[in-house]
């Protein structure tokens, strides 16, 4: 069923605490933890606790939880001290765009100059 945990999903395993992660924030519907391979001084992943393969699928199925992910991303930027200098919220969608984990997640990146357009 849509939203149910998937046995073969890395981020479902992190939610289930089967794989450790450095958690920075948790809410009823979301979990945020540091990326294992950071691309910026601040690089935090925000995931919904429900499983959907990408951000648009999440928003279509459970729009309130998609909003929760965005709100948490903003709170993390503030807590990490990058809200004022600027930060980026990225949802890679599809392998051609660099998505490697097919459980919706926001990258919150900041603490360095961020080029536009991104590569």
> Which residues are tagged catalytic?
105
95 binds ligand 5GP (CB under 6 A): no
Q: Which C-beta is closer to ligand 5GP: that of 84 or that of 100? A: 100
Among 43, 49, 103, 105, binds Zn ion (CB under 5 A): 103
101 binds ligand 5GP (CB under 6 A): yes
Q: How far apart are the two ends of the chain, measured CA to CA in Å? A: 35
Q: Are 75 and 25 in contact (CB under 8 A)?
A: yes
CA distances from 92 to 17, 53, 83, 84, 85 (A): 24, 11, 21, 24, 23
Taking the CA of residue 91 as centre, how many other CA atoms within 13 Å lie in the half-sphere pointing to its CB? 21
Touching Zn ion, residues 45-64 (CB under 5 A): 51
Q: Are 14 and 21 in contact (CB under 8 A)?
A: yes
Encode 13-42: b = buried (16+ Cβ within 10 Å), e = exposed.
bbbeeeeebeebeebebbbbbebeeeebeb
37 binds ligand 5GP (CB under 6 A): yes
Q: How far is the CB of 48 from ligand 5GP (least distance, A)?
A: 14
Q: How far is the CB of 14 from ligand 5GP (least distance, A)?
A: 7
Touching ligand 5GP, residues 49-88 (CB under 6 A): none
Binding segment (CB under 6 A) for ligand 5GP, from list 34-42, 52-60, 61-69, 71-79: 34-42
Q: Which C-beta is closer to Zn ion: that of 16 or that of 112? A: 16
């Amino acid at each position: 069923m849509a939203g149910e945990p998937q046995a073969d999903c890395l981020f479902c395993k992190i939610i289930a605490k089967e794989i450790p992660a450095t958690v920075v924030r948790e809410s009823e519907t979301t979990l945020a933890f540091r990326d294992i391979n950071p691309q910026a001084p601040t690089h935090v992943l925000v995931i919904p606790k429900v499983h959907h393969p990408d951000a648009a699928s999440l928003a279509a199925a459970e729009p309130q939880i998609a909003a929760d992910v965005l709100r948490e991303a903003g709170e993390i930027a503030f807590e990490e001290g990058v809200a004022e200098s600027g930060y980026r919220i990225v949802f890679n969608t599809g392998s051609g765009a660099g998505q490697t984990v097919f459980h919706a997640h926001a990258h919150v990146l900041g603490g360095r100059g961020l080029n536009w357009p991104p590569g």
